[in-house]
Amino acid sequence: MGKSISSHSITHTKRIAQKIAERCAAQKPGKRAMVIALEGDLGAGKTAFAQGFAKGLGIAEKVLSPTFVIIKSYKIPLYAGQGKHATLPRWSGQAGYKLLYHLDCYRLKSGEDLVSLGWQEILNNPQAIIMLEWADRVKSVLPPRAYWARFSHSREERNARTLALRFPAVFLRDIS
């Protein structure tokens, strides 16, 4: 349930996230939101990953890190990767994923800060995918089944980074 990938550019990081998003969107939602936790150094690619992920869900809006607003939500269109990037249809049931919540937990001191912002209500929405940057700061309130992506800078190449991904194998197949 894990894979380590070297990315040599922001564009490559976004493409990896886009493919994972398309596969996530094709899954039947569970009883609660799907949670994707991102952690790593400043500038290591968390926001780029979130941008690629949103694109993979067919979200056309510009995605920026919600550092000051902390939570930003986006509507997920009917098909993941709608338009020229269409690859996998979203789960076809009426209860498919409809919202992406993008959170930046950098300014939060603990999981309790997240709870005070309505975390439980967001988490209990089975039609939501939640992506948290700086998730390690609020780890105490994340569900045990959260998927994790750890980003670290490469020591050899200036724009390179390593992504340590803990997702189900079906999400990571043929991704490099």
pLDDT of residue 64: 79
Most confident of 54-58, 78-82, 109-113, 128-132: 128-132
Q: What is the 3-state secondary structure (H, E, C) of the chain?
A: CCEEEEECCHHHHHHHHHHHHHHHHCCCCCCCCEEEEEEECCCCCHHHHHHHHHHHCCCCCCCCCCCCCCEEEEECCCCCCCHHHCCCCCCCCCCCCCEEEEEECCCCCCHHHHHCCCHHHHHCCCCEEEEEECHHHHHHHCCCCCEEEEEEECCCCCCCEEEEEECCHHHHCCCC
Higher pLDDT, 27 or 20: 20
Q: What angle do CA 123, 46, 74 make, to 5 degrees?
A: 45
Q: Quick one: what percent of the chain has pLDDT higher than 70?
A: 89
pLDDT of residue 42: 84
pLDDT in tens, 57-88: 989 888 877 777 788 999 998 654 444 444 44
Q: Kindly give the pairing relationship between strand 128-133 and strand 99-104.
A: parallel
pLDDT of residue 175: 83
Q: Quick one: what percent of the chain has pLDDT higher than 90?
A: 48
Residue 89 reports pLDDT greater than 70? no
pLDDT of residue 95: 54
Question: What gap in Å lies between CA 162 and CA 169, rounded to an integer?
Answer: 18
Q: Which residue has the tokens 């993008």?
A: 102
The average confidence (pLDDT) of the chain is: 85
Range 100-118 average pLDDT: 93
Domain 3-172 has CATH 3.40.50.300: yes
pTM of the model: 0.86
Q: Which two tokens stand for residue 26?
A: 């094709």
pLDDT of residue 81: 42
15-24, 122-131, 137-146, 153-162: least confident range:
153-162
Quickly state the pLDDT bin for 104 (edges 50, 70, 90).
very high
